[in-house]
A and B are shown apart, each in its own frame.
Chain A
Amino acid sequence: MPDNQGLIRERLGRLGLETRREEEIVRELSEHLADHAAALEARGVARDAAAREALDSVSNWPELRNEILSAETEEATMNYQMTYRTKVLWLPALVALTLSSSLLAIFQFSGLVPRFYWLSKTGMSVHPFFTFYLPWLIALPLIGAVAAFWSQRAGGKAIHRLLAALAPPIGMLGFFLITPFITLLVYMLIPLFAKGSGHTRVPLTLHAPPMIGVLVVLVSWVLLPAVGLFLGALPFLRKHQPQS
Chain B
Amino acid sequence: MSEQAVRAIVPIIPLILIFGCVGTAFATHDWDVQATLVGEQPFEALGRLVPAESNVDGEVLEFTDFQLADNGTKLMLEVTLHSPVNVPVTIKELSTEFALAGSTVTLRLPQEVEVPAQGSASLTLAGSLPEMQDTLTVPPLETFAFRGMKLTLDVYGIQLKLEESGQGGAR
Tell me, yes or no, whether A binds B.
no
Contact surface of A with B, Cβ cutoff 8 Å: none
Contact surface of B with A, Cβ cutoff 8 Å: none
